[in-house]
């Protein structure tokens, strides 16, 4: 098969992996690197809002596993292809030289065994770093079941590594991917965390300096949002992941009858990203957003607004006196808006016009802040507050990465 055809097949096969956002870590070489081309280019966003381009491909879409939700499962009739490590190195260097990309996101189906597959991906990364002097960003997907030595070697050359948790619960994994073991996935994450901690404590050679991430598919099983978020919160706590990526299940040709026929709503994926942001950066806990009585996030309003509407007695708050943690719970205020308020209030009593000048959405925050002219108490008494805060706009469906850089929750 010609290289161009391989690129088309294996770039298309990689599109289902959402966890390709760059970490925002500084590259190992200087110089700009934004590009725009066709096959294999993934446009991602860093936490500070920059757009970067990565070559996003699979080493191969051959796979010994038969995970029911995966288009590349062993029983699938998709066209198969396989890069050699040298071909991936060649593509990466040539696209980087042409300023198409800033780095490489490399994943793979499992060929022969986890360690065999990892060895070929590691060869790509090592060759790029050592023999070609490549200083761009490299993200390697580790394969569950790979040895500790393979994971250690991957982290030596990659900026970020990740191991997909695949599905929200162990029961889901046993049902749809019985050949994979949740314990092996968890072990790979634990090994990665330990290596990252050791490298940091020693101040020695960098090991995956951009950390680790994972991805879970939502909507392939009837698992509720409360269990999805509990799993994510547990992973953040135990393995200190940088990100959990949520990917709405995408139906594949000739899928198993146990899987949904239609793709679940992308609104759910978007709400999970919003809730995830609240857990990591806004001081919320899972049970404040969802619980057994309310197991799913609402579709019609974002999770912070839903929480505020259930806790109207806490509002309105005085932005001149409230601490940062309290201000972060105000619907419509993101971290930048809160920091701007904390800075501005040292100099004067704030008004609605001051918030406008600080680029805060007055329409969203007015019912929740005690400011001159806000008439917040009257707004809070209205039963249709949720509609008035969100209307008259049609619900926007942001992509996962656009959602990740939106600070106005």
Domain ranges for the chain: 3-245, 303-404
* Dist CA 208 CA 214 (whole Å): 14
**Across the chain, how many H-helices and E-strands are there?**
17, 7
How confident is the model at residue 31, as a pLDDT?
Answer: 41
Long-range contacts of 240-243, Cβ-Cβ distance < 8 Å, separation of 24 or more: 240/193, 240/196, 240/211, 241/189, 241/211, 241/212, 241/213, 241/214, 242/23, 242/160, 242/210, 242/211, 242/212, 242/213, 243/19, 243/21, 243/213, 243/214, 243/404
Span 3-245: which CATH code? 3.20.20.70
CA 323/CA 313 separation, integer angstroms: 18
pLDDT the model gives residue 161: 95
Q: Is 97 exposed, middle or buried (0-12, 13-18, 19+ CB in 10 A)?
A: exposed
Token pair belonging to 76: 């699938």
Nearest to 19 by CA among 157, 164, 121, 136: 164
Tokens 């800075």 identify what position?
A: 343
* Per-residue tens of pLDDT for the chain, all 409 residues: 899 999 999 999 888 777 655 433 444 444 433 333 345 777 666 555 667 789 999 999 999 999 999 989 999 999 999 999 999 999 999 999 999 999 999 999 999 999 999 999 999 999 999 999 999 999 999 998 999 999 999 999 999 999 999 999 999 999 999 999 999 999 999 999 999 999 988 876 689 999 999 999 999 999 999 999 999 999 999 999 999 999 999 887 777 788 998 888 899 999 999 999 999 999 999 999 999 999 999 999 999 999 999 999 999 999 999 999 999 999 999 999 999 999 999 999 999 999 999 999 998 999 999 998 888 877 777 756 666 555 444 334 334 434 444 334 4
pLDDT at position 381 is 75
Q: Which two tokens stand for residue 129?
A: 């770093």
Place of tokens 């016009």: 353
Rg (Cα) of the chain, in Å, rounded? 23
Nearest Cα to Cα of residue 122 among 151, 91, 152, 154: 154
Q: Phi/psi of residue 267, each to 5°?
A: -60, -40
* Strand pairing class (41-45; 51-58): antiparallel
């Amino acid at each position: 098969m010609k290289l161009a055809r391989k690129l088309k097949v294996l770039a298309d096969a990689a599109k289902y992996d959402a966890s390709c956002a760059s970490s925002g870590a500084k590259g190992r070489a200087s110089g700009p690197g934004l590009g725009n081309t066709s096959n294999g280019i993934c446009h991602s966003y860093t936490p500070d809002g920059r757009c970067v381009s990565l070559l996003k491909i699979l080493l191969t879409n051959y796979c010994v596993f038969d995970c029911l939700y995966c288009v590349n499962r062993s029983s699938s009739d998709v066209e198969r292809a396989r890069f050699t490590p040298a071909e991936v190195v060649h593509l990466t260097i040539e696209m980087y030289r042409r300023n198409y990309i800033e780095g490489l996101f490399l994943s793979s189906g499992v060929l022969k065994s986890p360690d065999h597959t990892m060895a070929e991906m590691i060869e790509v990364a090592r060759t790029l770093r050592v023999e070609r002097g490549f200083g761009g960003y490299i993200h390697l997907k580790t394969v569950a079941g790979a040895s500790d030595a393979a994971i250690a070697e991957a982290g030596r050359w990659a900026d970020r590594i990740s191991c997909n948790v695949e599905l929200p619960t162990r029961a889901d994994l046993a049902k749809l991917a019985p050949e994979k073991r949740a314990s092996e996935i968890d072990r790979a994450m634990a090994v990665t965390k330990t290596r990252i901690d050791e490298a940091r404590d020693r101040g020695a050679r960098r090991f995956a300096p951009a950390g680790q991430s994972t991805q879970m598919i939502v909507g392939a099983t009837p698992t509720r949002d409360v269990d999805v978020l509990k799993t994510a919160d547990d992973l953040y706590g135990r393995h200190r992941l940088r990100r959990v990526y949520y990917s709405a299940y995408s139906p594949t040709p000739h899928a198993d009858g146990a899987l949904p026929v239609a793709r679940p709503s992308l609104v759910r994926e978007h709400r999970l990203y919003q809730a995830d942001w609240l857990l990591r950066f806004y001081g919320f806990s899972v049970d404040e957003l969802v619980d057994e009585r309310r197991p799913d996030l609402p579709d019609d309003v974002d999770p912070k607004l839903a929480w505020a509407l259930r806790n109207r007695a806490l509002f309105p708050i005085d932005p001149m006196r409230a601490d940062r943690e309290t201000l972060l719970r105000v619907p419509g205020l993101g971290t930048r808006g809160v920091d701007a308020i904390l800075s501005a209030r040292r100099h004067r009593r704030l008004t609605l016009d001051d918030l406008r000048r600080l680029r805060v959405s007055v329409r969203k925050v007015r019912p929740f802040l005690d400011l001159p002219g806000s008439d917040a108490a009257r707004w809070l008494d209205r039963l249709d507050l949720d509609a008035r805060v969100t209307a008259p706009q049609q619900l926007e469906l942001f992509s996962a990465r656009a959602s990740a850089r939106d600070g106005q929750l």
